[in-house]
């Protein structure tokens, strides 16, 4: 056990977060995301019993967001014609604002198929049990300045 580290962050996940360098990206994926398919060249970490908000909050306690890009946090854009509500995005805005002064302005969106293409290039994918639709979120790591 370590002090000051959220208990949800497993040793495997902490190792991966530590290994990641500036500009490396990770996806925290909902339960419908093809994590193993997209993560063939990435580290895939299973966290099936957890939702994305609790994982995101814990990660952002130890993971700096990139300050050299306008949108270090990206969501999968809702496909045209899909009648889907995305209340979880508001939760992501609140969590991001607690850990990054840019708040909601640090969050962008990537078209669904472009998101999949970007996901194939990330360092790690965290596969969760999140049931909300369009809940996938991609984070870009910044520099530790403290």
Q: State how far the Cα of 116 lies from the Cα of 136, in Å rounded to an integer.
A: 10
Catalytic: 134? no
Told to judge if 22 belongs to the known catalytic residues of this protein, a careful annotator would answer: yes
- Active-site option among 24, 50, 99, 116: 116
Residues paired with 49 in a beta bridge: none
Strands 124-128 and 25-29: parallel
Active site residue 50: no
Please identify which of the residues 57, 66, 92, 134 carries the catalytic annotation. Answer: 66
Nearest alpha-carbon partner for 23 in 75, 77, 64: 64
Q: Kindly state the tokens that stand for 142.
A: 């910044």
CA distance 7 to 81: 40
Tell me the C-alpha distance between 22 and 65, whole Å.
9
**CB-facing half-sphere around the CA of 43: CA atoms within 13 A:** 16
What residues are annotated to the active site?
22, 66, 116
């Amino acid at each position: 056990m370590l002090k000051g580290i959220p208990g949800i962050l497993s040793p495997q996940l902490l190792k991966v977060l530590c290994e990641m360098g500036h500009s490396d990206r990770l996806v925290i994926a909902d339960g419908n995301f093809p994590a193993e398919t997209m993560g063939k060249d990435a580290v895939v970490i299973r966290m099936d019993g957890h939702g994305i908000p609790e994982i995101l909050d814990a990660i952002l306690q130890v993971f700096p967001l990139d300050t050299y890009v306008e949108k270090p946090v990206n969501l999968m854009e809702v496909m045209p014609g899909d009648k889907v509500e995305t209340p979880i995005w508001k939760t992501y805005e609140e969590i991001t604002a607690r850990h990054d002064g840019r708040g909601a302005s640090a969050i962008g969106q990537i078209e669904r198929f472009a998101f999949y293409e970007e996901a194939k290039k990330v360092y790690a994918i965290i596969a969760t049990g999140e049931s909300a639709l369009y809940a996938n979120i991609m984070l870009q790591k910044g520099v530790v300045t403290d």
